[in-house]
Amino acid sequence: MDYHANILGTIGNTPLVKINRLAEDIPALVLAKIETFNPGNSIKDRMALKMIEDAEKAGKLKPGGTIIEGTSGNTGMGLAIAAAVKGYKCIFTTTDKQSKEKIDALKAFGAEVIVCPTDVEPEDPRSYYSKSFQLEKEIPGSWKANQYDNVSNLIAHYEQTGPEIWEQTGGKVTHFIAGVGTGGTISGVGRFLKEKNPAVKIWGIDTYGSVFKKYKETGIFDKEEIYPYITEGIGEDFLPKCVDFDVIDLFEKVDDKDAALMTREIAIKEGIFVGNSSGAVIAGLRRLKGLLGPEDVVVALFHDHGSRYMGKMFNEDWLREKGFLEAKEG
């Protein structure tokens, strides 16, 4: 009989799927790495399990303990699934810009979710980032995953996602493009692929209101660049330790409107139901198509599932409210 001991055994080995209509004018072969096939419907399942397993080995997380994390939703889902299997409690802090679907999904796995304001500095005690550290200090037997600075995040993709992409493309991958949030995915995958072939290009997708692109290009952390944005899961207003800027060759910024509308186009033109950051990746790739040739093989990361965004990108009233669609008469 062929079965897994529990749901955690189904993490990884996600498929590559050719992008067709949205890549008609891109000279390269474009393949999407569809991470929605993970049990939590996102790439974050991989690093969530790795962080927990490494914490258990190090004695930082003990039976009956509480997992604490600041999350935009997907890492929390990965942690919550593993916690359900392993018998841990979960408390997550998140921001008020995250979709209601993400918050409700975390609660479905028994997690407690604390919603914090988006428009505050990370150091502000009201921020989801600071609040999670405060909870770790207050709750006995707790462990904070700290996905932004936890090297297990990066290692998960160095050990799993990168090798999968190399094997699935027969070593022919020339470009890897992904949204950058914690930085673990792009840095881990990029490190592995560049060890296999130093000529592989690693492209990061950033958003307006985030500091990554300017920091990569100038070495300057510009606080004047920071302002609230809608796109979820990518960009940041600080520099996570998991972002390896030496591995990333360039950043391209994509604004909220282009990311949202391209997310819808992926469903309409490719039949692939994915989230907001995936739309940003394809929008960014289309801007960079002039750097590609007919021999190139691009792997674009599709981070999470569209069901998390039914009240946002897939809701026409929300799109009109944000000015992303023309208002209908009458």
Residues designated as active site: 44
DSSP state of 254: E
How far apart, in Å, are the Cα atoms of 319 and each of 18, 21, 310, 329?
Answer: 28, 23, 11, 15
Sorted by sequence, the CB contacts under 8 Å of residue 323 that are 6+ apart come out as 257
DSSP state of 260: H
Other C-beta atoms lying within 10 Å of the C-beta of residue 302:
30
Sorted by sequence, the CB contacts under 8 Å of residue 117 that are 6+ apart come out as 95, 96, 126, 127
* 3-state DSSP percent of the chain in helix, strand and coil, to 5: 40, 15, 40
- 80 residue type, one letter: A
- 240 residue type, one letter: P
Cα dihedral 238, 240, 246, 248 in deg (nearest 10): -80
